[in-house]
C-alpha cells in the first residue's frame, strides 16, 4: 500500500519474516490478551529463536547486527497485529538490550546478553519516576556508594515501566551526586534484595504490555552492576531516547496501517442506500487523507532510521529529527484510528472489531518516550536556537 520502498533485499526478508511471525503467533491471541490484560510471553521465546531480540546488537556480541531501520520494520510489522507486544519488544530490545550491548563491560555483556537475546530473560528500562516524567533529570532515585567502594545502596522508585511485572533485568538510572546531570546506570536483577515491582497498572490501551513501578528500598548491589563510569550516563540516556523515538514511530505506523486496512475492507463490503459506502465522497476523503498522512510519516520515519544507521544523525539534529518522526507518526496514528472508527460506524465502536483497540493503543505513543509537547519543544529549540529560551 505504501509508496516507500527503499528497503534492501535483507530488509524485505526481515519484513516478511516478522509479518509471518505476527500472523502465526500474535493474531489469534491479542484480542483475549487485550481484554484480560495478559501478556504473550511465548512470543518472546519465538522472537528470540528468530534472532530478533538482539536486533541492533553486533554479531560479535551474539546479536543480529542490524540497525534502526531493521528494528523499525520489526516494530511496524508486530504492531500492525499486536501493538502491545511491539511495545514490550521495543522496551526489551531497544531500551534494555541495545543499551547493554553499547555501554556495558565485557563481563556484564557475558552475564546478560545471551539470556536477553535468547528470550530466556525479559528486560526493561527505568527512567521515569512518580515525580519526574518529562523532566527526567529531576529523578530522585539515589545510589549511594559504600565507603569501600564495593557496593551501592539504592533508594527510590520508577514508574510506568514497560515489562516491570514480567522482566528479569532492568537498565536503571539513578542519581549518584547532587547535580542534575549526576546520573549513573545500574543493571538490576529482579531477585536483588530490596528490589520489588509494584502492582501492575491497568491501562486504557497497550493492555497486553505489562507496566508497573520499580521500587528500591535499601537495595544493596555490587559495584560491578554499575554500567560505565559513575555520573557519566546522561549522554547515553539521551542518545537512546533518540533511537527509541525513531523506532517507536514504527509502532504508530503499524497501528495506522492496520486501521486503514480494516476500514478499506469494511468500506468496500458495507452497503447503505443500496451501494458500498466506499462510493461515498466523505468515506473516500477519510481513506485518502489517512493513507496520505500514513505514507508521509512512513517516509520520514524510515529516512530518519536510514540516516541513523549511516551515522549521519548526531547531537541536536538527531534529537530534532527523531522528535519529528515520532511526533508526526504518533499523532497520525491516533487520528487515522479515529477516522477508521468513523468509517466503521457503530461497528467501529464495539470490541468485536479491532479498530477501537487501535485507537486506544495509538494514543500511548503520543505520551510515552516524550510527550507531543516535549517533542515540539525539542524541535522548536533546534530551529529557533537560543531565542526560543527567551
Ligand atoms: C504505558 C506506558 C509505558 C511507559 N514505559 C516506560 C518505560 O519503559 N520506562 C520509562 O522510564 N518510562 C516509561 N513511561 C513513561 C513515559 O515516558 C512518561 O509517561 C512520559 O515521559 C511523560 O511523563 P509524565 O507521565 O510524568 O507526564 P508529565 O511530565 O507530568 O507531563 C504531564 C503533561 O504536562 C506536559 N508538560 C510537561 N512539561 C512540559 C513543558 N515543559 N512544556 C509543555 N508541556 C509540558 C506534558 O506534555 C503532559 O501533557 C511509560 C509510560 C506509559 C504510559
pLDDT band at 2 (very low <50, low <70, confident <90, very high): low
| Cβ(183)–Cβ(236) below 8 Å | no
14-25 tens-digit pLDDT: 999 999 999 999
What residue owns the CA closest to ligand 1's atom 43? 373
Domain 9-122 CATH class label: mainly alpha
For ligand 1, pick from 122, 210, 371, 373 the residue to mutate: most ligand atoms within 8 Å of CB.
371
Q: Which residues contact 346 (CB under 8 A, 6 or more apart)?
A: none
Taking the CA atoms of residue 202, residue 204, residue 209 and residue 210 in that order, the dihedral angle to the nearest 10 degrees is -10
CATH number of 234-389: 1.20.140.10
CA angle 328, 330, 332 (to 5 degrees): 65
246-270 tens-digit pLDDT: 999 999 999 999 999 999 999 999 9
pLDDT band at 3 (very low <50, low <70, confident <90, very high): low
Which residues are marked as active site? 244
| Cβ(145)–Cβ(230) below 8 Å | yes
Sign of CA dihedral 82, 84, 89, 95: positive
Is the CB of 371 inside a 6 Å radius of any atom of ligand 1? yes
Is the CB of 84 inside a 6 Å radius of any atom of ligand 1? no
pLDDT band at 387 (very low <50, low <70, confident <90, very high): confident
Which stretches within 83-128 are classed as H helix? 83-90, 98-103, 106-118
Query: What is the pLDDT averaged over residues 223-244?
Result: 98
25-49 tens-digit pLDDT: 999 999 999 999 999 999 999 999 9
For the cut 70, the answer to whether the pLDDT of residue 343 exceeds it is yes
Cα gap 155→165, rounded to integer Å: 19
**Residue 24, C-alpha cell as written in the block:** 502465526
Is the CB of 367 inside a 6 Å radius of any atom of ligand 1? yes
What percent of the chain has pLDDT above 90?
97
For the cut 50, the answer to whether the pLDDT of residue 1 exceeds it is no
Q: Residue 40 C-alpha to ligand 1 middle, in angstroms?
A: 25
Superfamily, domain 125-227: Butyryl-CoA Dehydrogenase, subunit A, domain 2 (2.40.110.10)
Largest CA distance in the chain: 82
Is the CB of 388 inside a 6 Å radius of any atom of ligand 1? no
Is the CB of 373 inside a 6 Å radius of any atom of ligand 1? yes
The residue among 230, 196, 199, 188 whose CA lies nearest residue 216 is: 196
pLDDT band at 6 (very low <50, low <70, confident <90, very high): confident
Per-domain boundaries in the chain: 9-122, 125-227, 234-389
pLDDT at 389: 81
pLDDT at 390: 81
The residue among 221, 146, 143, 220 whose CA lies nearest residue 182 is: 143
CA distances from 49 to 45, 63, 115, 117, 311 (A): 6, 11, 12, 9, 29
CA distances from 110 to 91, 115, 116, 118, 184 (A): 20, 9, 11, 13, 21
3-state SS class at 66: coil
pLDDT at 370: 98
The reported pTM is 0.98
Atom of ligand 1 nearest to the CA of 128: 11
Amino acid at each position: 500500500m505504501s509508496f516507500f520502498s527503499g528497503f534492501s533485499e535483507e530488509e524485505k526478508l526481515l519484513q516478511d519474516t516478522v509479518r509471518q511471525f505476527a500472523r502465526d503467533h500474535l493474531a489469534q491471541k491479542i484480542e483475549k490478551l487485550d481484554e484480560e490484560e495478559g501478556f504473550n510471553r511465548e512470543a518472546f521465546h519465538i522472537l528470540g529463536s528468530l534472532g530478533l531480540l538482539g536486533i541492533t546488537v553486533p554479531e560479535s556480541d551474539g546479536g543480529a547486527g542490524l540497525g534502526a531501520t531493521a528494528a523499525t520494520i520489526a516494530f511496524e510489522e508486530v504492531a500492525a497485529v499486536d501493538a502491545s507486544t511491539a511495545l514490550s519488544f521495543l522496551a526489551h530490545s531497544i531500551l534494555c538490550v541495545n543499551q547493554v550491548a553499547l555501554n556495558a563491560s565485557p563481563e556484564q555483556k557475558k552475564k546478560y546478553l545471551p539470556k536477553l537475546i535468547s528470550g530466556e530473560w525479559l528486560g526493561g528500562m527505568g527512567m521515569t519516576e512518580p515525580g519526574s516524567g518529562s523532566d527526567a533529570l529531576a529523578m530522585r532515585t539515589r545510589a549511594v556508594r559504600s565507603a569501600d567502594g564495593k557496593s551501592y545502596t539504592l533508594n527510590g522508585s520508577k514508574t510506568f515501566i514497560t515489562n516491570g511485572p514480567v522482566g528479569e533485568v532492568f537498565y536503571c538510572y539513578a542519581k549518584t551526586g547532587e547535580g542534575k546531570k549526576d546520573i549513573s546506570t545500574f543493571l538490576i536483577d529482579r531477585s536483588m534484595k530490596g528490589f520489588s515491582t509494584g502492582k501492575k497498572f491497568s491501562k486504557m490501551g497497550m493492555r497486553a504490555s505489562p507496566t508497573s513501578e520499580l521500587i528500591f528500598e535499601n537495595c544493596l548491589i555490587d559495584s560491578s552492576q554499575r554500567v560505565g563510569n559513575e555520573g557519566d550516563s546522561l549522554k547515553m540516556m539521551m542518545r537512546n531516547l533518540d533511537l527509541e523515538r525513531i523506532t517507536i514511530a514504527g509502532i504508530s505506523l503499524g497501528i495506522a496501517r492496520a486501521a486503514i486496512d480494516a476500514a478499506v475492507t469494511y468500506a468496500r463490503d458495507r452497503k447503505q442506500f443500496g451501494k458500498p459506502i466506499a462510493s461515498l465522497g466523505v468515506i473516500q476523503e477519510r481513506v485518502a487523507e489517512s493513507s496520505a498522512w500514513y505514507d508521509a510519516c512512513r517516509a520520514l520515519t524510515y529516512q530518519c532510521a536510514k540516516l541513523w544507521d549511516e551515522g549521519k544523525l548526531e547531537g541536536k539534529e538527531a534529537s530534532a529529527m527523531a522528535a519529528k518522526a515520532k511526533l508526526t507518526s504518533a499523532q497520525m496514528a491516533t487520528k487515522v484510528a479515529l477516522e477508521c472508527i468513523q468509517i466503521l460506524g457503530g461497528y467501529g465502536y464495539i470490541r468485536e472489531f479491532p479498530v477501537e483497540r487501535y485507537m486506544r493503543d495509538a494514543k500511548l505513543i503520543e505520551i510515552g518516550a516524550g510527550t507531543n509537547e516535549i517533542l515540539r519543544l525539542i524541535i522548536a529549540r533546534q530551529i529557533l536556537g537560543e531565542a526560543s529560551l527567551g
